[in-house]
Amino acid sequence: MKRGRVPFLLTFLVPPLVLFGIFVLSPFAQAFYLSITDWTGLTPDFNIVGLQNYKYILGIGAPPDLTFWRGLRNNLILLVLVPLITIAIALFFATMLNLSGARAGQIRGVWGAPAYRFLFFVPQVISVAALGIMFQQVFQPRGLLNSLLSVVGIDGPTWLADDRFALGAVITVMVWMHVGFYMVYFSAAMAAIPRELLEAASIDQASKFQTFFRITLPLLWPAVQTALIYLAIFCLDGLAIIQVMTVGPGGPNGATEVMALSVYRSFKEQAWIGYASAQAVVVFFLTSILLALAFRITRREQVEL
């Protein structure tokens, strides 16, 4: 029986591993190799320059690449704000739609919850390019937002052309993009919470805040941790929405610059493939370290039902 299991397992394991090696590991290996060259991508010839590209990124022997480090700063701001705001709003809406009150002795959500879930989920079926163009028009000097502000006598700024507000506008759009999905995700996780626990808390006259923080949130923590990880990965990228939506892109004055945009600019516009690969390797290691820290910080004992 054991002899038959080995060929059976190899039949199913080898093809995926081969494909993974070709399409995932191989590009990573090529990027590491190209990062120690001066290849421009325009000719077949290039020279091995060792760690010169990395030295330029770090500012060793030359002025540092301020654009890349400005992008790192903005990525860290996104990493802190977008997941926290998105998860907080998504948890609030999910709780209102599923566990907002008791009717006929049972914990239920608001009336019409399925319709609300559908409306909140709509942004997920809109492409990032369409969202970027749509919100670019919303934040125009004569766009929808400033038109609404003018009704109450407020003269709105040029949101995307002012370095004080541009990153805030991007954060607003990123949160709007993801709230609906994670609201539905948390709603599905809430369906697995035993209603007996919530009804017992209601009978004991526990407040809604006590019920949420002592029962609902601990039982939802694995789902919250997953949401944090996926949102962190998104925030360490953010290329698509920023490239479509912002001035430059990445402007004004680098206010919305991110690391991925710096890599793209070095690769596509400057034809500096070796340096772009070195930037990509740095992004890879920074992302890996930050995600490992996120796993470590958010790790908790799973609540057994």
How far does CA 93 lie from the centroid of its chain?
19
Reported as a single tens digit per residue, the pLDDT across 96-112 is 887 765 554 455 666 76
User: pTM score, two decimals?
Assistant: 0.86
Q: Is residue 48 helix, strand or coil?
A: strand
Q: Do 236 and 259 contact (CB within 8 A), yes or no?
A: yes
DSSP annotation of 155: -
> What is the per-residue DSSP string for 121-134?
HGGGGS-HHHHHHH
> What is the per-residue DSSP string for 98-151?
HSSEEETTEEE--TTHHHHHHHHHGGGGS-HHHHHHHHHHHTSTTSHHHHHHHH
User: 224: pLDDT confidence band, cut at 50, 70 and 90?
Assistant: very high
Domain ranges, ordered by start, for the chain: 66-296
The CATH fold of domain 66-296: MetI-like fold (1.10.3720)
Q: Is residue 37 helix, strand or coil?
A: strand
Reported as a single tens digit per residue, the pLDDT across 250-276 is 888 889 999 999 999 888 888 888 999
